[in-house]
Structure 1
Amino acid sequence: MATFFLTFSLLLLIMLGMALGVILMNKSIKGSCGGLNAIADADQCLVCKKDIDPDSPLRERLACPRAKKMLERAQMDVENARS
């Protein structure tokens, strides 16, 4: 039981340190580049505004019908959220 509390305390201390680092450095947390941006037929990344590689392997992985449905549903959710 002592090992659990020691591990939990250590992880809590690490998380607190990371949070304080972000707060004190005055930087905002950003998402990663690529990912869904690479498959959404966007020209630029939403996070860093860099051009997206049109030959991304992620586009090939989403060629299946199930993945296309998921992508369409996600786009509809985004459009509904905007209105």
Structure 2
Amino acid sequence: MYKLVIDPIAEEQIAALPEEALRPLAELFTLLETTPWSGEPYNRAKPRSNMLTHTFGERGLATYIVLDEQRESYLVRIEWP
């Protein structure tokens, strides 16, 4: 199990999300705590990098870093266009 750590900017972005995004976001949080490596590489030129993205809901995109030694998923940004 990984601990989910949320960057202050991501917290602000989460606070601005519409209600329709909250349930998929909660599901994403569970995923980041249990299987964080299930995302896509942030930089496709470096597929083994620990910075990943994961979609959620119909339009959401989360960017995060997996820190294996600390057993943490660090949520950097949330996008909901």
Asked whether the two chains share a fold, i.e. TM above 0.5, the reply is no
TM-score w.r.t. the length of structure 2 is 0.25
RCO (CA 8 Å, sep 6+): is it higher in 1 or 2?
2
**Bigger radius of gyration among the two:** 1
Bigger proportion of residues as strand: 2
